[in-house]
Chain A
Amino acid sequence: DVKVTQSSRYLVKRTGEKVFLECVQDMDHENMFWYRQDPGLGLRLIYFSYDVKMKEKGDIPEGYSVSREKKERFSLILESASTNQTSMYLCASSGEGRGYEQYFGPGTRLTVT
């Protein structure tokens, strides 16, 4: 079974803090994704990566950055957390090409106070 794990299920941070969310997959997938999920808005893509050290902006990249130094690991970074970044963050991984499904981690619920 594909396994996508996220470093924390719940996280509480203060405004202005630097926040790291980590995601690891064990299926040697080329593609990895970070989404945020908010009620009534569905899933919105923040960034994705199609190879080590390669990244592409998604629909809402502002206020976020990412890092992929190893194929299995994809990190989301909030340089200076703000209250409007309070959300559920979901990581996913997928094989290469259209038509491949994405496999999701359990999510990290981040609260910024």
Chain B
Amino acid sequence: AQSVTQLGSHVSVSEGALVLLRCNYSSSVPPYLFWYVQYPNQGLQLLLKYTTGATLVKGINGFEAEFKKSETSFHLTKPSAHMSDAAEYFCAVSGLSGYSTLTFGKGTMLLVSP
């Protein structure tokens, strides 16, 4: 079965500091990996995804993630945090079937202080 582990339910950074949100996955087939962001009282919005090809993936709002097969990881980074980055972030891995099902991690709340 597919699974996703996000280390840390809450991560706090100062404005301007590096953002690092960790995601490890388990998959019995080559995975497709996703990062979503959820702002308060909103649905989820896609930040970036990895399917095949380049392992360093760039997304919206200055975020990027690197697929590391040997470490089964897909960590999300941003060089310099902004107050508007405060939100909940979800990592997800594709299902095994031909359908576009996803298995989500439990989420990491990013707190940004001035």
Asked if A45 is an interface residue, CB under 8 A from chain B, the answer is: yes
Tell me if A43 and B45 are in contact (CB < 8 A). Answer: no
Tell me if A107 and B42 are in contact (CB < 8 A). Answer: yes
Partner pick for A98 among B36, B90, B100, CB 8 A cutoff? B100
Chain A residues lying within 8 Å of B90, measured Cβ to Cβ, are 42-43
Tell me if A50 and B43 are in contact (CB < 8 A). Answer: no
Knowing A90-B43, A106-B43, the reply to whether A100 touches B104 (Cβ < 8 A) is no
| Residue of B49, B51, B102 contacting most chain A CB atoms (<10 Å) | B102
Tell me if B99 and A50 are in contact (CB < 8 A). Answer: yes
- A92 to B92 alpha-carbon distance, docked (Å): 14
- Closest A residue by C-beta to B4: A42
Asked if B17 is an interface residue, CB under 8 A from chain A, the answer is: no
Chain B residues lying within 8 Å of A56, measured Cβ to Cβ, are 99
Size of chain A's interface in residues, with CB distance under 8 A?
A: 28
**Whole-angstrom distance between the Cβ of A35 and the nearest chain B Cβ:** 8
Tell me if B101 and A48 are in contact (CB < 8 A). Answer: yes
Partner pick for B95 among A40, A90, A95, A98, CB 8 A cutoff? A98
Tell me if B32 and A98 are in contact (CB < 8 A). Answer: yes
0/1 per residue, B23-50, Cβ < 8 Å to A? 0000000001010100001111110010
**Whole-angstrom distance between the Cβ of B9 and the nearest chain A Cβ:** 7
Chain B residues lying within 8 Å of A104, measured Cβ to Cβ, are 36, 43-45
Lowest 6 CB-CB distances: which A-B pairs, in order?
A104-B43, A42-B106, A94-B100, A100-B100, A104-B44, A43-B104
7 intermolecular pairs with C-beta atoms under 8 Å apart: A97-B99, A98-B32, A98-B94, A98-B97, A102-B102, A103-B46, A106-B43
